[in-house]
Amino acid sequence: MLYFGGNQRVRFVISGAAGFIGSHLCDRLIAEGHSVLALDNFITGSPANLAHLEGADGFEFREHDVTSPIEASAPVDFVLHLASLASPKDYLNHPIETLETGSTATRNMLELARAHRARFLLTSTSECYGDPLEHPQAESYWGNVNPVGIRSCYDESKRYAEALTMAYHRVHGLRTNIARIFNTYGPRMQLNDGRVVPAFVDQALRGEALTVFGDGKQTRSFCYVSDLVEGLYRLMFSDERYPVNLGNPDEMTILEFAEHVRKITGAAAPIRFESLPSDDPQRRRPDITKARTLLRWEPRVSLEDGLRETIAYFRGLLASSVPVRSLE
């Protein structure tokens, strides 16, 4: 069991805990012997993602919208703000909630950390770089973001959250960390959230055409969720206060990624081209020099292995119609 600050068990409060990344992070922390108070309002998270942790030693769930203040009676050592409407489908359907999650909710989580003199981690995004004019993207790049475009509710909410986090660090001496997360995939993603991994896998498993926006030559890089969680874990125990990129630097076009999905699923699915959405980034690849140097971290899971795990999860999801009991 890991300890922090003497003989006390490390206690975490995590927003967005029932989400894709949040639930995997809960797994890691409980496995490490930590205590977790998990918060989620289920706007995009799922009770199924945390159902297996019910009754686990050190795990507590509370249904809560973190745009309202949070109270925690017992001492808190770490506050992790993962709550986010991260997929384009979600944040375009809920732009105001997305902005509130980056602004009001971030401040509420920072105030919780301040009240308990706890460490604070913000999960930010590669979308802070917008449609980048620098490639690959290093943390020193300030970005190319349309502040009034349709994606601005997400991009600017995260940029504001970063600025607010740094303000709390400078004004209140809060010990903060900021992770800029690049495309991450794996089990527990929402099948219909509109992002390229679940979209392609869903279409391939159903024998439908894979929808490619634009000419498919835009690039992305894909990091498996266990690698991302390892990066977050190392970052939260570090003394780095400025943003750190966490993602896989192996870049490929969307068309190349479609071929990987077709190969692993065995689907003979054709490609269907549609118009490119507004402000969609043309190139996306993280420079992870900082993470390699400061955290001694880099992705380990190959795309083929990660996709096999992800496809197996989605295959089971499509085959199963058994409801999962809600957390209480």
Which mean pLDDT values do the consecutive 10-residue runs of the chain (328 residues) have?
54 98 98 97 96 97 97 94 93 96 98 98 96 94 95 96 98 98 96 88 92 91 97 97 98 94 91 84 92 98 97 90 42
- Provide the 10 A C-beta neighbour count for residue 69: 12
On whether the CB atoms of residues 301 and 311 are closer than 8 A, the answer is no
Would residue 326 count as lying in a domain?
no
On whether the CB atoms of residues 36 and 17 are closer than 8 A, the answer is yes
Q: Any catalytic annotation for residue 233?
A: no
* Rounded Cα distance, 77 and 13, in Å: 8
The one catalytic residue among 91, 154, 168, 185: 154
Question: Among 237, 227, 119, which Cα is nearest to 172's?
Answer: 119
Would residue 39 count as lying in a domain?
yes
Full-model pTM = 0.93
Domain that holds residue 130: 11-319
Would residue 110 count as lying in a domain?
yes
Would residue 253 count as lying in a domain?
yes
Would residue 93 count as lying in a domain?
yes
- State the pLDDT at residue 8: 57
- State the pLDDT at residue 55: 96
* Number of domains composing the chain: 1
**CATH, residue 105:** 3.40.50.720
Using DSSP's 3-state secondary structure scheme, residue 179 falls into: strand
